[in-house]
Structure formats: C-alpha cells, structure tokens
Amino acid sequence: MNKYSLLVVICLILMGCSARPAASDQAASLAVADNAAAPTVAAPTTPPAPTATPEPTAPPAPTATATPVPTDTPVPTPTATPEPYPELAQYTIEGLRSRTYGEGTIEIVGVMEETTNFTRYLFAYPSDGLRITGMLNVPRGAGPFPVAILNHGYYPLDVYRTGNGTQLAADYLANQGFLTLSPDYRSHAGSDDAPNVFRAGHVIDTLNLIPLAQQLPQAQPGKVLMWGHSNGGAITAKAITISDQILAALVYAPASSNIVQDYLFRVERAAFRGSTIDRVDWPVLPEEAPDLYERLSPLNYAQYVTADVKIIWGTNDEIVPRPWAEDLYNALLAAGKDVVFDVYQGEPHSFTPAGNGVYLPDMVAFYRAALSEQASTEAPAGGTQ
C-alpha cells in the first residue's frame, strides 16, 4: 500500500471515531425528548375492596319528653301590717269571737217577789273576774222552761236599779212560761265596777251569762232567746254575731250597730247632759283608728249570725233614727239571714201601752215559732213516740 492510500485509511478511521459520539449524543437527546413528552403512567394499585352498604335503619322513634309545667311567678308574701293598737283587738268582733265564755255558776242571792205565775230572784254570776248582778224570773212548775236573756238600755249609773228597762217584757214572758234573766252589767246596781271599753264590756257580761243560764236545772236544753232595747238592742246585735247559742233575737229600737255612729251619738248625748265621753271607754277615736272601728262594728259581720232576728221600731222614736234599725236589717238581709223588720206607726222609743199590747204577743209568737222549728229539727227520724 502506498503512502497515499495509508493516509486515506487513517483519515477514514479518524472520521469514524469522531462521528460516533455525535450519534450517541443525538440518541440521548432523543431519549430525553421522548421521556419529556410521554405521560407518566402510575403503577396500577389494587382498588380497595368495596365496603358493604349499611342496611338502612329505622329512624329512632321520637321520645316524648315532658313539657315542663310553667311555674307561677313567686308572689312575695305580704308582710302583715302590725296591729297599731294590739291591746284593743280583744274588743273587736273577731276578738270577742275568739274568747270562751261562761265559767262559774249562777248564785241565787234572794227572792225579790212572789207572783201567781213566777218567782222573781236577785241573782249574781261571774264575768271577767267581776261579780255581775241581775233579775231572774222562774215560772212556777217543774219545767223545763225556754230561756230568754233580756238586755236593758242606757240609764245613768246613779239612777239604774235592777230590772229597769226589762221588767215589763220579762214579766210578760214569765207569765207565758219563759225563764228570764236580765243582767245589770258591770258598774250597774250591785255589780262590780269596771271599764266598758268600746261598750264591749256589757256584751261580754251578756255572753258570759248564756252558758250559765243553760245550766240552770229549770232551763230547757238548747239555745237561748234574746231581747234588747235601745243600747240593749245594740248589745244584742253584737251578741248574735259572736255566739251561735242564740236561737232567736228581738232587737227593739236599737242604738247604731255602726260603732262610729254610736260614738258620735254618745258624744252628742254627753254634750246634751253637759258632760263629755269617758276616754277610758273610748281610748282611741274613730279618726285615729278607722280600721279598728270597722272591726268593732257588728254591721260588718252579719255573715256570722245564726239566730232568727226580728227588728221593731216606732215612727215617733225620738232617740233612734230609722236608718239605724234599717242598716241592721239590710246587713242581715244581704247576708241571707232570717230577719224581719216591723215598723209601728206612732210609737215612741219606748212603746206606749197600745204598742206593747201588739208587740209583746208578736214577740211570744216569734219565739215560739223558733222553738218549734228547733224541736222539729232535733226530733229523731221517724217522729217522737
């Protein structure tokens, strides 16, 4: 081989060596380009096993819940108003109703008079620690006799004598077979002296006599009858709101059952006599204690009355105006009580003999009707034998 040929061979070899790397580089470039363009395929993963679809469950039944009961808004407990005159509450109607009555026994002091049909005695009995005197009429015979208590009206203390104001009616009743008792009240006749606060002392003396009269051996068992004239009518009006042991009451020309009116009337009467009221008996005045005076007045307590009531009044009454009798009648009527109001034309405060000739027989008929009703109510079933 000549030099020229050898040189050609060497050049060809050199050219081949330099061309291979270029081809390799191009292949590498193509590989890179292909790798960049081809999407990456993630290796497949086993899908999770399907979970069982839960069976549908019934919706829970609604549980009945108790609806809370609304509670009342607490009402503040009212604070009791203090009693402004606590020592005087005992004289109110409620105060008198809360007491007990009739401790002790009746003492026969002596015979005052013997008559054809009855014997009149002077008697005494205890009341509030006092010794109270009075007049007792006992019919002749074995008895028992229905009992009537008679309450007299106002008399000056230096004038009053046992039996004043009640003897006419008491004797009429005794002649008709009734046992009668006429209390003098405290500070009258032979009774012990004591205050009569708000006129309640006389009421207390009357109430203390009721159970003692019922214990007399000649007394017919059961409730008593009552009579009262003028101030005694007001005493009777109070007594029937306090005691349930009064069967029937005759209220004759009564002083006012409104204690304010009664107070004003007594002030006026005292001035007429040239004197003043006793402040021991009227320790506070109406304008100082209006509520107390309301509670002293029997007009406001007609609901407590259990007695049959008969009110009488004369059109010529010079002391007691008609409204005083009518007020009592209307209060009892409004309370649904058994009450009648008889007006006597032309009769004065103390009836004339003509008026007495009408009212006294009517009184006996009124009492006998009440006694008959009581007897029929108490009779055993099937009648008496």
For residue range 204-251, what is the model confidence (pLDDT) as tens digits? 999 999 999 999 999 999 999 999 999 999 999 999 999 999 999 999
Phi, psi for 236 (deg, rounded to 5): -65, -40
pLDDT at 84: 84
pLDDT at 52: 42
Task: Mention every residue, 6+ apart, whose C-beta is less than 8 A from residue 168.
Answer: 356
Q: Which of 290, 342, 350, 284 has the alpha carbon at shortest distance from 317?
A: 350
pLDDT at 68: 55
**Predicted TM-score of the model (pTM):** 0.79
Contact predicate 305/335, CB 8 Å: yes
Q: Which of 121, 230, 127, 229 has the alpha carbon at shortest distance from 180?
A: 121
**Structural tokens at position 379:** 């009779």
What gap in Å lies between CA 10 and CA 5, rounded to an integer? 9
What gap in Å lies between CA 170 and CA 150, rounded to an integer? 7
Mean predicted confidence (pLDDT) in 124-149: 98
Whole-number percent of the chain with pLDDT over 90:
75
CB-neighbour burial class of residue 223 (10 A; exposed 0-12, middle 13-18, buried 19+):
buried
Beta-ladder partners of 340: 310
Q: Which of 175, 207, 180, 171 has the alpha carbon at shortest distance from 123?
A: 180
Position with higher pLDDT, 377 vs 137: 137
Phi, psi for 153 (deg, rounded to 5): -90, -165
Q: Beta-carbon neighbour count of residue 149 at 10 Å? A: 27
What gap in Å lies between CA 324 and CA 258, rounded to an integer? 8
Position with higher pLDDT, 51 vs 156: 156
SS3 assignment for 247-278? EEEEEECCCCCCHHHHHHHHHHHHHHCCCCCC
Phi, psi for 24 (deg, rounded to 5): -60, -40
Mean predicted confidence (pLDDT) in 107-124: 99
Q: Is 42 helix (H, G, I), strand (E, B) or coil?
A: coil
